[in-house]
Amino acid sequence: MPVMRIAADVGGTFTDSALFDESLGTIRLGKSLSTPQRLVQGIDDAVARAGSRFADANLFLHGTTVAINTLLERTGARTALVTTRGFRDIYEIGRINRPEAYNLFFRKHRPLIDRAQRFEIDERLLASGEVRTALSEAELERVASLVEAAKVEALAILFLHSWSNPVHEIRARDYFKRRFPGLYITASHELSQEYREFERTSTVAANAYVGPRVDRYLGEVVDHLQRERFGGSFLIVQSTGGLYDVERARRESIRMLESGPAAGVIGTRELCRSLGMANAIAFDMGGTTAKAGVILAGSELMTSSSMIGGYAEGLPVQIPMIDIQEVGTGGGSIARLGPGGSLRVGPQSAGASPGPVCYSLGGTEPTVTDANLLLGRLSESRFLGGDMALDLALARSAIKERLADPLGLSIEQAASGVIRIAAASMSNVVKRVTTERGLDARDFPMVAFGGAGPLHAVLVARELQISQVIIPNAPGHFSAYGMLVADLRRDQVKTLFMPLAALDFDRLEAVFRSMEDEALVDVCAASASVGPIERRRALDMRYVGQEHAVTVDVALSAFEHRDQAAIKQAFDAVHELRYGYCSATEQAEIVSLRSSVAGAMPKPAPRELAPASALSAGARPANAAVAVEQMSRAVYFDDASGWVDTPVFARDPLCAGQRIDGPALIEEYASTTVVFPGDRVVVDGQGNLVIDIRLDDTAEAR
């Protein structure tokens, strides 16, 4: 039986593959344009470019944007909601948030399910889980006729307080499955056992809405794998960064919303561990979007819910996930003139089809990639290692006609403006995962990856006054690599109100054990390769009288020693970090219990690079580290300096300890690192590019 793992990350523009041969300890990489009409074809192309096939593998790991794109583009299934009588409008009323009180153009969230497809049923549970109004067969039959008349593809079930007792949801789910075997049916308790009915309604509605499309897509992949004689396990990356089996993914599709981006954060976490770093910002810029997450004290920063579509108009999804923020700014983001002649970049993207103008695939609107090519930061002939030629003349013409001439700017100024606007937009994403969480971005190095990440990392870092940027090996494939170092994982949450002063450790332990035992069964069943098991516990806590809680990671020893004081101290510390204050004397209470069970998977060993012993510090390498076709090319860094003759280095021949002073370009197969004048790059022992950024005097004096 082969011992090879294949990881595939399907993005909006490119599909990446990474192959790990466990017997040899080697990794091979492949990249191809995504194929929106049939995504599995892009996966096959990327795997073939890596020089392998599915029949050679025993494990296939997959991350995809199908779920999140379906949600954001509103292209999901026609869905019905069955809920407790009197509560069908909770989905529309929401929390009545109004982020900007005087914004006349404010629009509230728009539900995925129209009011006409929301059906009420007579049943009622109390918050304690006791039945107040029993669910009758006649009621189920009455509502079934309404669902049938609505001609829907999916059905979501949400009953009040089912987080406390799911008995009515289970009965309704089983009835509707018998009555409508062709419907995609999901019940809220299968996804969330937390309180807050609006968030739970939104979550189950979203799962039903994206479920049929995700189910069909994963079914196509399963069929393709069977035709390719793949005999191993097929696992999906969750939004937690962990892996789960494909059958559960088809039922609980909402858990894979941030599938690809989560893998990149996991890759950053493993990179931090190999380098001995506790904290880092993960910055991922691809062809369609830019994403950011945080590694804090050696672990990925998590969140219990996320507003999909933004805080102002988005819909909440209440599941554990890595705290990832994203913006529609990528290499394929389109630059257009807005009202009043303002220059705007994104969120519309040229994607893989037709792609940027310079791809010569039919694109007509200038993009970030076109601007980078025009400014000399990308090579016409060496894009994707020479596999794909870029057309500078087409890019120049598009930027001139659509941007430069209407704005009365030179072509270079217009292209430079596109890059600066994109960098400013992406810096705001990093602020949302740092500053808005009580963290100072300046205290973190930034790990930049994705095909376009190294191109823009230094600019984004300068916007945030970050002094160090790390470019990992093969940054254009880093999310696919993150899948290879991910573990099997199951996260569960259970609401359990309990005052800290009267903490019942026996009850707490019983609930945790129940969740962990259930998770352990799932983790061990997902793959035969699972290794040591790691348990982690957290508590959602708040001060008595508060509405919202914070999640507090609690060491297992605190439960073993029944250390109530340690739990309170941990809560106070998190509260102070998040809100700037805490109270050691104020009473606190527990709201929910969080459990994470992870089964370790074999991981590729960190790459060790040969030292540059024959090179003096600061010397330019003499071993073909400079690109063969040309020693340098002109690069436009900013309007003040104009065009600068810049040395171009090939990354592969670089040695550990080597230093390169900016300005410089460092090219590799799927990405180019831009080093600005005054910055310095040192190649570390694992081949990572560590860029020290020259900040202004104000930042250095901080």
Mean pLDDT per 10-residue run, the chain (702 residues)?
82 87 85 86 91 89 89 91 96 81 80 96 94 95 96 97 96 97 96 93 96 95 94 92 92 91 94 95 90 93 83 83 88 89 87 88 94 95 86 95 94 96 93 90 95 94 96 94 92 94 94 94 79 92 93 94 95 92 94 94 81 50 39 90 93 92 92 95 95 71 38
Sign of CA dihedral 518, 523, 525, 530: negative
**Domain check: are 99 and 190 in the same one?**
yes
- Whose CA is closest to 257, among 219, 308, 297? 308
Asked whether residue 665 falls in the same domain as residue 572, the answer is no
Please list the alpha-helical segments (H only) found in 357-403. Answer: 368-374, 392-399
Q: Two tokens at 592?
A: 């929910």
Establish if 60 belongs to a structural domain.
yes
Domain boundary among 165, 198, 214: 214
Element (H, E) at 454: helix 453-464
The predicted pLDDT at position 613 comes to 57
The two tokens of residue 292 are: 């950011």
Hey, which bits of 358-487 come out as E strands?
446-449, 468-471
Farthest CA pair distance, the chain = 85
d(CA 144, CA 155): 11
Looking at residue 27, which CATH number applies to its domain?
3.30.420.40
Is the domain of 47 the same as that of 87?
no
* 448, part of any domain: no
Q: Do the domain assignments include residue 636?
A: yes
Q: What are phi and psi of 150, to 5 degrees?
A: -75, -15
Q: How many domains does the chain have?
A: 4
pLDDT of residue 664: 95
Question: Taking the CB of residue 20, how many other CB atoms lie within 10 A of it?
Answer: 24
Helix ranges restricted to H, 304-384: 368-374
Residue 429 CA to residue 694 CA, distance in Å, equals 22
Same domain as 51, residue 177: no
Residues 80 and 207 in one domain: yes
Task: Provide the β-strand partners of residue 569.
Answer: none
Q: Residue 227's pLDDT is what? A: 94
Residues 272, 436: Cα–Cα separation, whole Å: 23
Of 214, 235, 264, which residue sits at a domain end? Answer: 214
For helices 453-464 and 411-433, give the axis angle rounded to 10 degrees: 70
Distance between CA atoms of residues 408 and 317, nearest Å: 45
pLDDT at 97: 73
Cα–Cα distances in Å, from 254 out to 213, 361, 550? 12, 33, 23
User: Cβ(496)–Cβ(593) under 8 Å?
Assistant: yes
Instruction: Tell me: do 196 and 137 sit in the same domain.
Output: yes
Q: Are residues 96 and 195 in the same domain?
A: yes
Q: Quick one: DSSP state of residue 683?
A: E
- Asked if 68 and 257 touch (Cβ cutoff 8 Å), the reply is yes
In a domain, 669, yes or no: yes
Tell me whether residue 314 is in a domain: no
Neighbour count for residue 599 (Cβ, 10 Å): 23
Amino acid sitting at position 29: L
Q: Yes or no: say if 582 and 575 are a contact pair by the CB < 8 Å rule.
A: yes
Judge if the upstream peptide bond of residue 320 is cis by omega within 30 degrees of 0.
no
Query: Would you state the structure tokens that stand for residue 67, as one six-digit string?
Result: 């779920």
Asked if residue 16 belongs to a domain, the reply is yes
Q: What is the pLDDT of residue 2?
A: 56
Query: Is 299 among the domain residues?
Result: no
Q: What is the reported pTM?
A: 0.89
Q: Say yes or no: 528 and 510 in one domain.
A: yes
Residues 56 and 85 in one domain: no
CA distance 417 to 338: 14
- Whether 398 and 371 have beta carbons less than 8 Å apart is answered as no
Please give the structure tokens belonging to residue 316.
């909440």
Question: Are the beta carbons of 591 and 547 closer than 8 angstroms?
Answer: no
Closest CA to 18 of 387, 479, 451: 479
Strands 306-308 and 290-296: unpaired
Q: Which two tokens stand for residue 304?
A: 């219990």
Collect all residues with Cβ–Cβ distance below 8 Å to 439 and sequence separation of at least 6. 294, 296, 433, 577
Which 3 state secondary structure label does DSSP give 192?
coil
User: 201 and 110 in one domain?
Assistant: yes
529 and 508 together in one domain? yes
CB 463 within 8 A of CB 427: yes
Q: Can you tell me the distance from the alpha carbon of 586 to that of 601, in angstroms, rounded to the nearest whole number?
A: 43
pLDDT number for residue 312: 66
Q: Is residue 194 in a domain? A: yes
- Its domain, for residue 193, covers 75-214
Q: Same domain, yes or no, for 84 and 63?
A: no
